[in-house]
Copies of this chain bind each other. A is one copy, B any other.
Amino acid sequence: MPTIYDVAAACGVAPSTVSRAFSRPGRVNAETAARIRQVAEEMGYRANPLARALPTGKTSLLALVVSDVTNPFYFEIIRGAELAATEADYTLLVADVHESATVERKALERALPLVEGVVLGTSRMSDSAIRVMAQQRPTVVLNRVLTGIPSVITDNARGARRAVEHLASLEHRTIGYLAGPEASWADGMRWRAMREAAEMLDLRVQRFGPFAPTLAGGAEAVPLVVASNVTAVVAYNDLVAIGLMRGLAAADVRVPRDVSVVGFDNIFGAEICSPALTTVAAPLTALGKYAVQTLLAGMSSRTPPQTRPALLPAELIIRDSTARRARRRRS
């Protein structure tokens, strides 16, 4: 690999001039710069990002920490984040932390010195731990609000409201909520919004759980739902909703005839499961994209970043898992 020294020698100029020819347009005579660029091109010169990063700290690397890469929830988020990063000439480092705060800490420790900024997707760390690390590198959190730290969230309240309204319009009067992990910020939001919306519409709501945010978690809820008198249930997320539906099918309860089911997030899978899942779609790609853009904006400006959470709209997607309430079938 040729270096600026090689290029400089070939052009008969000093290395610093070559450096400036690339990074400081105008600082060097236009003709000289053009000549240097051409020679560099011919020699196949590429700046060594490591060497560049050492004195400047500009690695052009951003970290995206996700709690579990195999969770379909993240696919689109990663895609969106990548898009935004690439657009700004950054490379995204995706770190998977396997749902463990310990692994998350380790991964961050490893990645932190390398990256210029961090997006925390559904972090499992404590607020204070996040604050500590936000001091080391610009940070944006996803799906969580943390005063003083920029965050990007979906409008869960609105989504939950839409879901409840939809169910109400189908004449459901008592609906269940399958709660997610206690530590989940989104869970709290969703549940609260549901309760409020239900109250407004004079519906009854009942909370089950908490359950693991997985297919298995949803399956666990089956007996509780069956034993209750809810005619519709809203699940913490799509995975739980799908798990529930599969369990229900196994228990010979029909969706949506016997019970309607609504999920959250609209992950890959919500559409192909059967019946296709009615769900509150989170703007996943936009979430990832916007998080990175927010991060980059915060990095470039000298002023402290905007810390009011950015609220991205959620939308109810009506598919086949919800229907008009029928007489409840008891098993």
Q: Which residues of A contact B (CB under 8 A)?
A: 1, 46, 48-51, 53-54, 59, 61, 69-70, 72, 75-76, 78-79, 82, 86, 91-96, 107, 109-111, 113-114, 215, 242, 246, 268-269, 272-274
Contact status A48-B113, CB under 8 Å: yes
Copies in the complex: 2
A82 proximity list for chain B (CB < 8 A): 69, 96
Contact status B215-A272, CB under 8 Å: yes
Contact status A46-B113, CB under 8 Å: yes
Contact status A49-B96, CB under 8 Å: no
The chain B residue with its CB closest to the CB of A95 is B91
Contact status B96-A79, CB under 8 Å: yes
Contacts A50-B50, A268-B269, A272-B215 given; does A69 touch B59 at CB 8 Å: no
A37, chain B: closest CB distance, angstroms? 17
- How distant is the Cα of A93 from the Cα of B86 in the complex, in angstroms? 14
The chain B residue with its CB closest to the CB of A114 is B49
A95 proximity list for chain B (CB < 8 A): 91
A70, chain B: closest CB distance, angstroms? 4
A109 proximity list for chain B (CB < 8 A): 46
Contact status A268-B70, CB under 8 Å: yes
- How distant is the Cα of A250 from the Cα of B273 in the complex, in angstroms? 14
The chain B residue with its CB closest to the CB of A274 is B274
Q: Which of B49, B69, B269 contacts A272 (CB 8 A)?
A: B269
Contact status A242-B272, CB under 8 Å: yes
A270, chain B: closest CB distance, angstroms? 9
The chain B residue with its CB closest to the CB of A82 is B96
Contact status A113-B49, CB under 8 Å: yes
Contact status B70-A59, CB under 8 Å: no
- How distant is the Cα of A111 from the Cα of B82 in the complex, in angstroms? 14
